[in-house]
A and B are shown apart, each in its own frame.
Chain A
Amino acid sequence: MNRKNLRIAAPAAMLALALGLSACGAGNEDSEGASPASGETVSGTLNGAGATSQEAAIAAWKKGFQTANPDVTVNYDPSGSGGGREQFIAGGVTFAGSDSYLDDDEVAAAAEKCGSDIVQVPVYVSPIAVIYNLDGVDELNLSANTIGQIFEGKITKWNDAAIVADNPDADLPDSDITPVHRSDDSGTTKNFTDYLDQASEGGWTGGVVETWPVKGGEGANGTSGLVAAVKGGSGSIGYADESQAGELGKVHVKVGEEYTEPTPEAAAKVLDTAAPVEGRAATDLAVDIDRKTTEAGVYPIVLVSYQIACQTYEDAATADLVKAWLTYVAGSEGQEAAASTAGSAALSDAFSEKVLAAIETIKAA
């Protein structure tokens, strides 16, 4: 008898526990400020998916946007740029984040799904630092050609003549270089190889790729994995978002006759020198970055990540929500939030204006 009671009691107790838990929300959620910052607020749930690179910035944007609009929940699946583009085109998500702009076929497919043009705006610009871990060397200058040769495995020693030529004062050891690359497919690799391809003058022959093409060297998964690998090895060199480099040394890259440090400011200037992609709608601000720039103070190894949405939505609520979101993200407030929490580069005022003008056209069908 007793046993039987227990047998019934146990699941019942668990159920009660679960219900008890579900009775209360999170401590920080029910106390949400009821007074929004501006008079006009939007509500609803906004789902996006795409580039992992934007994840940290999106956390900051979500905070700012959801605080201003307490009835909004924004979700973002960091499923990768490709996944984001695909889901957006299939209509699975309302907006997508992508490290590379939609190609012409994808634009056509997306426009068909939207029933209108698409709005494609660069909102996240992040400098990619070439990071290294070499005892006794605090500052390292390298040209694109040398970087290309190092990552291709043609330069294998730290005291190679090409490196010494860039760093006459440094005390370079006679040790092996271990280049570390991303083993997952990533926009960072794509932007990095794009830079090498354009600027290295034959030092790099691997082309512009998302999958690392050169044998040798060490592979690591994700930005954090790569940073850990560079930190853990000795004489290693890799490439990662500047904000995640931590205490690792960052290579000063030769631009023109100077060596430029990877900083958000230097990275932001890249967009101003970039060329718009031809044959795109007015609301499609896809750009091709000029990596060969010789302009002083510009840091050419950057990752530019886009957010993509439709120009028209079926219902007005969604349209308003998307518009408010993108306006916040691309506006000065959102850009500053991302800069301080994700280490990205804020869009320049001139470029931000163009972006906001494109976003302004979002409306209900």
Chain B
Amino acid sequence: MTSTLEPSRKGSAVVRPGDRIFAGLSTGAGLAILVVLAGVAAFLTIEGIPGITASPDEVKSGKAFLPFVWPLVYGTLLAAVIALLIAVPVAIGVALFISHYSPRRLGQLLGYLVDLLAAVPSVVYGLWGIQFLAPNMAPAYKWLEDNLGFIPFFAGPAASGGRTILTVSIVLAVMILPIMTAICREIFLQTPRLHEEAALALGATRWEMARLAIFPYARSGIVSAAMLGLGRALGETLAVAMVLSVGVGSTVTANLISNDNPNTIAANIALIFPEASGLTVNALIASGLVLFVITFLVNFAARAIVDRRKEFSGAN
């Protein structure tokens, strides 16, 4: 990004109006984003602060803000992280399959199919989760409880309906798969053909070519895709609210297969908001602020990783 040779910065005195307008527009757009985000943040903060400072008996949960929000934070991170763990390898695999392993025509068709799924409304994912996935997962949970019950994740008692946080994570993984796959695919396709052919010409197998030519080039893009996916998983509302069997009160448990699950922040907002009034609303908005902060931190970490690796990136 840095070492581009810029034409006539100094030197020649010609400053074209087109350039000035274009630069102005671009900078303006960047600033507009700052303004929008500042607006959202200001809104969340102003509306949220009364909820944070509210005393326990003024809000419906009957708890101070931290005990109220902590299980939700835990649930949100748990569901999103599991979803990401499932989705990232699969998305890379699918993208690689479409871009480099499948015949080209087929690849285009499949890419098209995957793109379509990004548009399925979350309600449909929710319905699918309840009607199809959860009942089919229930026997698996029973099996996990019986055979792997000594691992805290599968301690049970297994949910007979299968609507556990693990099921939710799978639904989330499926939901974020299309967008992640699409981005990874585009990035993989952009790998300079010369790099790939050079690798192959040196005798690399297809996998070695992927490792040597594609991945270094695509790393920042993959991280971007993962962040977009994570963002969606963290903020997904209705699908989680429909599928998850929410535990009562402050459930913080490593158990992934029981009926007693920690809720996520976004789903909790959807469940409680309609019947909420007064300071409870503020507390919910404050929980939205917390979600905001979480995303902030996660992205911070991701940025740090990408930046540290920048020198290896093939891009520019």
B61, B245, B273: the one contacting A219 at CB < 8 Å is B245
A176, A225, A236: the one contacting B130 at CB < 8 Å is A225
B60, B160, B246, B277: the one contacting A183 at CB < 8 Å is B246
- Which residues from B are CB-within-8-Å of A225? 130, 242
Known interface pairs A216-B260, A221-B242; A234-B274 also in contact (CB < 8 Å): no
Tell me whether A220 and B273 are in contact (CB under 8 A): no
Tell me whether B160 and A214 are in contact (CB under 8 A): no
User: How far is it, in angstroms, between the C-alpha of A234 and the C-alpha of B246 when the chains are bound?
Assistant: 19
Q: Which residue of B lies closest to A235 (CB)?
A: B160
Per-residue CB proximity of B265-291 to A under 8 Å, as 1/0?
000001111111100000000000000
- Which residues from B are CB-within-8-Å of A214? 248
Cβ of A77 to closest chain B Cβ, rounded Å: 10
Q: Which residue of A lies closest to B62 (CB)?
A: A211
B249 CB within 8 Å of chain A:
yes
Tell me whether A82 and B260 are in contact (CB under 8 A): no
Tell me whether A183 and B161 are in contact (CB under 8 A): no
User: How far is it, in angstroms, between the C-alpha of A183 and the C-alpha of B249 when the chains are bound?
Assistant: 11
Cβ of B238 to closest chain A Cβ, rounded Å: 9
Cβ of A91 to closest chain B Cβ, rounded Å: 15
User: How far is it, in angstroms, between the C-alpha of A75 and the C-alpha of B103 when the chains are bound?
Assistant: 52
Tell me whether A52 and B274 are in contact (CB under 8 A): yes
Per-residue CB proximity of B231-272 to A under 8 Å, as 1/0?
000000000011011111101000000011001000000111
User: How far is it, in angstroms, between the C-alpha of A214 and the C-alpha of B263 when the chains are bound?
Assistant: 15
Interface size on B, residues (CB 8 A): 31
Most interface-central of A79, A83, A212, A232 (chain B CB within 10 A): A232
- Which residues from B are CB-within-8-Å of A220? 163, 245
- Which residues from A are CB-within-8-Å of B135? 232
Tell me whether B259 and A218 are in contact (CB under 8 A): yes
Tell me whether A185 and B271 are in contact (CB under 8 A): yes
- Which residues from B are CB-within-8-Å of A216? 248, 259-260
Most interface-central of A180, A215, A219 (chain B CB within 10 A): A219
A311 CB within 8 Å of chain B:
no
B73 CB within 8 Å of chain A:
no
Most interface-central of B131, B263, B272 (chain A CB within 10 A): B272
Q: Which residue of B lies closest to A210 (CB)?
A: B275
- Which residues from A are CB-within-8-Å of B276? 80, 82-83, 185
- Which residues from B are CB-within-8-Å of A82? 274-277
Tell me whether A232 and B274 are in contact (CB under 8 A): no
A233 CB within 8 Å of chain B:
yes
B134 CB within 8 Å of chain A:
yes
Write 30 A-B pairs (CB below 8 A) sorted by A numbering.
A80-B273, A80-B275, A83-B273, A86-B277, A176-B160, A178-B160, A184-B274, A185-B60, A185-B271, A185-B272, A185-B274, A185-B275, A210-B275, A211-B272, A212-B248, A213-B248, A215-B260, A216-B260, A218-B259, A219-B248, A219-B259, A220-B163, A221-B271, A225-B242, A228-B131, A229-B130, A229-B163, A232-B134, A232-B161, A236-B160
Given A178-B161, A211-B61, A229-B245, 16 further pairs, Cβ under 8 A: A80-B276, A82-B277, A178-B160, A183-B241, A184-B272, A184-B275, A210-B60, A210-B275, A216-B248, A218-B163, A229-B161, A232-B135, A232-B162, A233-B161, A234-B160, A235-B160
